[in-house]
Structure formats: structure tokens, C-alpha cells
Amino acid sequence: MFSIGEFSRIARVSPRQLRHYEALGLFQPERIDPETGYRFYSALQLPRLNRILALKDLGLTLPQIRRLLDANISAEEIRGMLTMRKAQVEQTLREELERIRSIEARIFQVEAQGSLTDDVVLKSVPSRNFLSLRQVLASKEQGFALMAQIFRFLPRLTRRGAPGQFALLFSGESFETENIDVEMGFMFDEEALEPVLLPDGRVMTVHPLPAVEHMATMIHIGITHHESCYGALGIWMEQNQYQLAGPGREVFIEPLQPDRLEEAVMEIQIPVTRTNRDHPALITE
């Protein structure tokens, strides 16, 4: 019989660890002195402790190990738990690989620019309604004109002003500066509104925008000169192995104030999916 100190030196675990395993019902001392509360262990308990440590090395949690050591568990169940755990580790492995790529991209950026820039953040955005007008614009100027018209008419849109955030949705996948297929209007969460007739006879209608699971986003201040954001998004997508997966959006966070457009804050959003490539890391045999 060994005291907890002796036993911990033999097994090379800490006394605290032994007490912790005991508290979890995982590993009990062979005897506890009722007088002093001292714990005593025997050498014959070492195999069980070793099994616990070996399973812990595989990354199983202590409650999982407790279930695994349960006498009533079948080999089939054991295999199931290990297979599940393996899948988990493979998943985190893939994530770590991506993380390394992202860090490398950032290091490269710092070396090239001398500082951190262009913070692209991946988010998931929910479905929203879109009161909008779709049009192919011959030029940027035509776009601004349409925007101005909508905004002149805006106070009459609803009693309480704009129903949500002003946004642009670009359907073409090419980033040309003419013949842009754009949908312009207001994104909002409430139930659908009636269609709206503009003075020139065109009609803004409501349809739902789909939720997007993986949206690469970037914040830009002002309503012009945001081409560099698309450049940065493109580089980010390439370095992080994503590709374009749908129409991009430009969402204005706050109601636009026509006299202070240079202070407008816009979020550029691009739906992305992971580029399929072989993961050399997962070739483990």
C-alpha cells in the first residue's frame, strides 16, 4: 500500500490529479483511512491508471474515459467512440491548416505594407427581405442617378422613412465598370411591404434574399473609391482558398445622409465557398 505521495511518484502523476480523478468517479484509492482521511493505493491499480492516461493522450475527455472504462461497454461501442474522436481530430487538423495559411497571408501582408490592413471577416448572414429595383446600368453615373431618384422619393416610401438599410446587389460575376447588373433598394427584417411605384413609372418590389452561410465581409468608409476593397477581398479569397459563390452586396450600415456621403459606412459582402483542393495533411497512411 502506498500513500498518495508515494503512488504519485511511482505513477508520475500529481497527487492533485489522483484526487481529481477520484472526485470524477474515475479512479478510487483502494482504501481510505477513516480516521485521517489518508488515501492508500496498491500497485495493482496501476494498470487502470495507465489505461486512463493512455486514453487521455488520445484527447478523450475524462467523462468519456469513464464511460469507456465501464464494464458494460462493448468493443463495438469502444470502436465507435474512437472513430468519432478520430473524425473530430481530423476536423481540427483541417482547421489548423487553414489557420496556418491565414497567418502566412497576414505575415506577407505586414511585410509588404508595414502594418495590418484590410480586415476581411467571415460571417454568416441571415435571410432578409429586399425592397428593390433591378437594372442594367450603362455607367456608374447612371447608377448614382437612380440612387438619387430613389432617395428623393424616400420620404414617401413609408411613414417612418427608409424601411431598412440601403443596399446594392451585383448579379454579374465580372467586375466591369459598364453594363452593371445591379439591384438597388432596402434590406429589412420585418414582414414584406407593398410594391412601391417610383415617379418615372418603375416599380420596386419585395423579395427575400437568401441567407448566406459563408460571407466574406469588409468595412469601407465613403461611397466611392472602394475598388481597393474588392482587390483585397480577391487576394484574401485566393490566399485563404475560397471562391466566389454568388452575387456580392454593398450594404450601408446607417441611413445615408446626402450631405455627408464621405462619412457613409458600407459593408462589402461576398458569398464564398471553400475551394476544393487536396489536403496533403490528411494522407496519414
Partner DNA sequence: TTGCTCCTCACGTCACGTGAGGTGGC
Q: What are the start-end ranges of the E strands in the chain?
A: 2-3, 31-32, 39-41, 121-125, 128-137, 165-170, 180-188, 196-197, 203-209, 212-221, 242-244, 248-252, 265-274
Contact 26, 66 (CB under 8 A): yes
Q: Which does 283 bind (CB under 5 to 8 A by kind): DNA, a copy of itself, none?
A: a copy of itself
Q: Which does 4 bind (CB under 5 to 8 A by kind): a copy of itself, DNA, none?
A: DNA
Per CB under 8 A, 274 contacts a copy of itself: no
Enumerate the β-bridge partners of residue 137. 180
Contact 190, 129 (CB under 8 A): yes
Q: Which span sits near a copy of itself by CB under 8 A: 112-120, 166-174, 191-199, 200-208? A: 112-120
Cα–Cα dist 215/272, whole Å:
6
Cα–Cα dist 92/252, whole Å:
36
Q: 3-state class of 8 per DSSP?
A: helix
Q: Which does 14 bind (CB under 5 to 8 A by kind): DNA, a copy of itself, none?
A: DNA
Among 45, 48, 62, 230, binds DNA (CB under 7 A): 62
Cα–Cα dist 154/145, whole Å:
14
Per CB under 7 A, 6 contacts DNA: yes
Nearest approach in angstroms of CB 35 to DNA is: 8
- Residues with Cβ within 8 Å of 218's Cβ and at least 6 positions away in sequence, in order, are 118, 119, 120, 121, 229, 232, 233, 267, 268
Pick from 189, 200, 188, 187: which is nearest to 150 by CA? 200
Contact 269, 250 (CB under 8 A): yes
Per-position x/- string for 25-64, each x denoting binding to a copy of itself as judged by CB under 8 A, each - no binding: ------------------xx-xx--xx-xxx-xxx-----
Site for DNA in 20-49 (CB under 7 A): 20-21, 36-39
Per-position x/- string for 205-244, each x denoting binding to a copy of itself as judged by CB under 8 A, each - no binding: ------------xxx-x-----------------------
Cell of 155: 420620404
Nearest approach in angstroms of CB 215 to DNA is: 18
Per CB under 7 A, 128 contacts DNA: no
Per CB under 7 A, 255 contacts DNA: no
How many of the chain's residues bind a copy of itself (CB under 8 A)?
62
Residues that bind a copy of itself (CB under 8 A): 10, 12, 43-44, 46-47, 50-51, 53-55, 57-59, 68, 75, 78-79, 82-83, 85-86, 89-90, 92-93, 96-97, 99-104, 106-107, 110-111, 114-116, 119-125, 217-219, 221, 253-254, 263, 265, 267, 280-284
Residues that bind DNA (CB under 7 A): 3-6, 14-17, 19-21, 36-39, 56, 61-63
